[in-house]
């Protein structure tokens, strides 16, 4: 319960600043996204060894405290910049804030789930991770709701202060959980993970499961970033003003997270407990295949849902993100409980930071190149369908990778007998 509440505040904090970031990308359109993502990737390459050094040398509580405190102070430092957004310009401020929020999202959320994988067993994780993720999804719904209310009342800049307060509350709860867990027999919370600061990079080449995770991250990111780039062009063409764009992206986040919460309350826990975490990866990939094939068939027009006309692109991004957050993410984090501790922190962090942002650079550059050759929404969706089909194959291999630890005591005994 404490973990779910902590994740609620983490995601509330993130989803307050997310539409603030997205309104900047919506102001400049997809041609500027390769620049944004390129800078993010370069920063990730610098942060990855620094994070590996912290993980190797410092215990869990210090790692949590220093990392979260850094992002809280950074949020407050951006407040004056947003008060002067019209003078600075959306492109200049957009590069800086886009980079920072992307780093914030990846490191803060990835560190949270590394911590969860450290304190829960594999079997327990399959039962509770979807519930913990549901707490985060509640925050991901509450964040857009409070943003929708506050942005027209206090403006954009003060939202960062609200986000900093939410992240501070998450930090207090996480430190409490860590202190409680450290008092239990067999806990490693007061020990540094140790090893090399480059272990995350090295394990990518030596551990099959991590390679599958990297490939799945690239393919899944390709689908998500493709949808994001198309929506950025839509926002630039149809929505005027930073408040209106913030509200538009906020609505996308709200409906995405409602879908994710529905999945976590219904299908995801049943699938993970009854069928295993691997099926959570495979089913979400199959949904992406069907969705993108549908967009390729109908193009980028509008559809009527519940009596309202909405863009097909909005439906696409909401559905792909909803399954990514509501099904794929709990499944992935459950699988990470079955790898060594160093892999949970360093390898997982490298895949979910540097590899992810490399995918962003490649996809956004590719989208601009395909635009130059005249491909529209339907043509890009055809390409996305092929990528989603490949991702399904990789998901199948990742969920049943041979180097994952057995899940049950009976399987552990059997594995030891085979080794002997």
393-406 residue pLDDT tens: 999 999 999 888 87
**Residue closest to 257 by CA, chosen among 117, 387, 165, 146:** 146
Residue with the bigger pLDDT between 377 and 331: it is 331
CA distance 387 to 118: 32
Q: Do residues 375 and 233 make contact, with C-beta atoms less than 8 angstroms apart? A: no
Q: Tell whether the model's pLDDT for residue 417 goes beyond 50.
A: no
Q: Do residues 161 and 73 make contact, with C-beta atoms less than 8 angstroms apart? A: no
161-171 residue pLDDT tens: 999 999 999 99
pLDDT at residue number 413: 42
pLDDT at residue number 221: 73
Q: Tell whether the model's pLDDT for residue 329 goes beyond 90.
A: no
Of the pLDDT bands very low, low, confident and very high (cuts 50, 70, 90), residue 410 is very low
Of the pLDDT bands very low, low, confident and very high (cuts 50, 70, 90), residue 419 is very low
The answer for residues whose C-beta is within 8 angstroms of residue 222's C-beta and 6 or more apart is: 359, 362, 363, 384, 387
Which segments within 267-418 are labelled E, that is strand?
302-305, 308-311
CA distance 160 to 149: 14
Q: Do residues 339 and 207 make contact, with C-beta atoms less than 8 angstroms apart? A: yes
pLDDT at residue number 86: 67
pLDDT at residue number 418: 32
Burial 313-352 (b: 16+ CB within 10 A, else e): bbbbbbbbbbbbbbbbbbbbbbbbbbbebbbbbbbbbbbb
pLDDT at residue number 370: 79
Q: Do residues 151 and 247 make contact, with C-beta atoms less than 8 angstroms apart? A: yes
pLDDT at residue number 197: 46
Residue with the bigger pLDDT between 214 and 151: it is 214
Rg (CA), the chain: 21
**Residue closest to 243 by CA, chosen among 309, 164, 157:** 157
pTM for the structure as a whole: 0.69
What is the rounded average pLDDT of the residues 55-60?
A: 74
Of the pLDDT bands very low, low, confident and very high (cuts 50, 70, 90), residue 28 is low
Mark out the alpha helices in 29-121 (DSSP H runs). 33-57, 60-83, 85-88, 90-119
pLDDT at residue number 100: 83
What is the rounded average pLDDT of the residues 77-94?
A: 73
Q: What letter does residue 400 receive in the DSSP assignment? A: T
Q: Do residues 34 and 365 make contact, with C-beta atoms less than 8 angstroms apart? A: yes
Q: Do residues 194 and 184 make contact, with C-beta atoms less than 8 angstroms apart? A: no
What are 36's strand-pairing partners? none
Length of the chain: 420
Q: Which of 16-30, 300-314, 333-347 is most confident? A: 333-347
Helix or strand run (H / E) with residue 315: helix 312-323
Q: Tell whether the model's pLDDT for residue 286 goes beyond 90.
A: yes
DSSP conformation letters of 221-285: HHHHHHHHHHHHHHHHHH--SHHHHHHHHHHHHHHHHHHHHHHHHTHHHHHHHHT-HHHHHHHHH
Of the pLDDT bands very low, low, confident and very high (cuts 50, 70, 90), residue 40 is confident
Average pLDDT taken over every residue of the chain: 79
Lowest mean pLDDT, pick from 32-46, 48-62, 230-244, 299-313: 299-313
CA distance 388 to 414: 36
């Amino acid at each position: 319960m404490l973990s779910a509440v902590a994740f609620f505040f983490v995601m509330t904090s993130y989803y307050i600043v997310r539409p603030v970031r997205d309104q900047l990308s919506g102001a400049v359109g997809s041609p500027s996204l390769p620049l944004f993502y390129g800078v993010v990737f370069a920063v990730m390459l610098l942060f990855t060894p620094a994070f590996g050094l912290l993980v190797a040398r410092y215990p869990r509580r210090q790692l949590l405290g220093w990392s979260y405190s850094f992002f809280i102070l950074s949020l407050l430092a951006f407040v004056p910049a947003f008060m002067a957004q019209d003078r600075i310009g959306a492109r200049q401020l957009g590069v800086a804030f886009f980079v920072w929020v992307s780093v914030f999202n990846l490191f803060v959320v990835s560190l949270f789930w590394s911590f969860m994988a450290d304190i829960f067993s594999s079997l327990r994780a399959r039962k509770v991770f979807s519930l913990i993720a549901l707490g985060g999804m509640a925050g991901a719904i509450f964040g857009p709701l409070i943003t929708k209310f506050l942005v027209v009342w206090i403006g954009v800049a003060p939202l960062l202060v609200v986000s900093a307060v939410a992240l501070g509350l998450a930090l207090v709860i996480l430190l409490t959980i860590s202190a409680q867990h450290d008092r239990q027999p067999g806990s490693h919370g007061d020990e540094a993970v140790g090893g090399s600061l480059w272990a995350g990079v090295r394990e990518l080449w030596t551990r099959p499961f991590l390679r599958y995770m990297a490939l799945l991250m690239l393919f899944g990111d390709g689908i998500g970033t493709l949808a994001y780039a198309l929506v950025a062009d839509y926002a630039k063409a149809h929505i005027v003003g930073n408040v209106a764009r913030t509200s538009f992206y906020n609505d996308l986040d709200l409906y995405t997270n409602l879908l994710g919460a529905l999945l976590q309350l219904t299908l995801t826990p049943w699938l993970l407990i009854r069928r295993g975490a691997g099926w959570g990866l495979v089913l979400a990939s199959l949904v992406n295949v069907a969705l993108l094939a549908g967009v390729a068939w109908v193009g980028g027009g509008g559809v009527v849902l519940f009596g309202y006309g909405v863009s097909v692109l909005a439906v696409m991004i909401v559905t792909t993100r909803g399954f990514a957050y509501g099904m794929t993410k709990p499944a992935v984090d459950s699988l990470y409980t079955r790898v060594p501790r160093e892999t949970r922190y360093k390898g997982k962090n490298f895949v979910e930071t540097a590899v992810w942002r490399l995918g962003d650079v490649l996809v956004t550059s590719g989208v601009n190149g395909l635009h130059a050759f005249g491909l529209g929404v339907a043509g890009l969706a055809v390409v996305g369908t092929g990528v989603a089909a490949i991702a399904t194959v990789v998901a199948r291999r990742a969920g049943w990778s041979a180097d994952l630890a057995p899940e049950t005591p009976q399987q552990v005994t059997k594995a030891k007998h085979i080794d002997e």
